[in-house]
Structure 1
Amino acid sequence: MGRPKRITKGHIVYHALNRANGRLRIFKKPQDFAAFEAILADGVARYGMRLCGYCIMSNHWHLVLWPRHDGDLTDFMRWVTVTHTQRWHAAHGTSGTGHVYQGRFKSFPVQNSWRYLALMQYVEANPLRAGMVDRAEQWPWSSLAIRCGGEKEVVLDPGPTRLPEDWLRIVQSAVDPSQQETIAHCIKRGCPYGSKQWINQTATTLGLESTLRPRGRPQKNS
Structure 2
Amino acid sequence: MPRIPRGHLAGHAFHVLNRGNGGSTVFHADGDYRAFLELLAAAKARHPIKILAFCLMPNHFHLVLQPIRDASLSPFMHWWMTSHVRRYHRFYRSHGHVWQGRFKSFPIQQDGHLLTVLRYVVRNPVRARLVEQAGEWPWSSLRCPQLLDPFPGSGPDDAPDWLDAPLLDDDLATLRTCVNRQQPFGSPQWQRRIAARLGLEATLRPRGRPRKSQPEK
TM exceeding 0.5: yes
**Deviation for aligned residue 1:196:** 0.9
2:85 counterpart letter in structure 1: T
Which TM-score applies when normalising by structure 1? 0.91
Cross-structure match for 1:213 = 205
CA distance in 1 between counterparts of 2:12 and 2:90 reads 35
Q: How does 1:37-76 map to 2 (within 5 A)?
A: 37-76=37-76
CA contact (8 A) 1:13 1:112 kept: yes
CA distance in 1 between counterparts of 2:6 and 2:48 reads 20
CA contact (8 A) 1:117 1:163 kept: no
Q: How does 1:1-222 map to 2 (within 5 A)?
A: 3=3, 5-94=5-94, 97-147=95-145, 154-163=146-155, 166-222=158-214
CA contact (8 A) 1:16 1:105 kept: yes
* Residue 163 to residue 182, structure 1, CA distance change in 2 (3 Å): farther
**Deviation for aligned residue 1:75:** 1.1
CA contact (8 A) 1:112 1:161 kept: no
* Residue 49 to residue 206, structure 1, CA distance change in 2 (3 Å): same
Count of residue pairs the alignment pairs up: 214
2:39 counterpart letter in structure 1: I
**Deviation for aligned residue 1:2:** 7.7
Structure 2 unaligned runs (5+)? none
* Residue 195 to residue 177, structure 1, CA distance change in 2 (3 Å): same
Q: Which moved more, 1:79-88 or 1:53-62?
A: 79-88
CA distance in 2 between counterparts of 1:169 and 1:15 reads 21
- After superposition, the C-alpha distances for 1:162-217 in whole angstroms (9 at most, x for unaligned) are 35854323233321111111111100000100111110000000000000011111
2:76 counterpart letter in structure 1: F
* Residue 156 to residue 164, structure 1, CA distance change in 2 (3 Å): closer
Q: Percent identity?
A: 42
CA contact (8 A) 2:55 2:122 kept: yes
CA distance in 1 between counterparts of 2:87 and 2:144 reads 24
CA distance in 2 between counterparts of 1:39 and 1:217 reads 43
Which TM-score applies when normalising by structure 2? 0.93
2:71 counterpart letter in structure 1: G
**Deviation for aligned residue 1:3:** 3.6
Question: Runs of at least 4 residues of structure 1 off by over 6 A?
Answer: none
Structure 1 unaligned runs (5+)? 148-153
- After superposition, the C-alpha distances for 1:87-115 in whole angstroms (9 at most, x for unaligned) are 11111111xx3100111000000001001
CA RMSD of aligned residues (A): 1.7
Cross-structure match for 1:150 = none
1:110 counterpart letter in structure 2: I
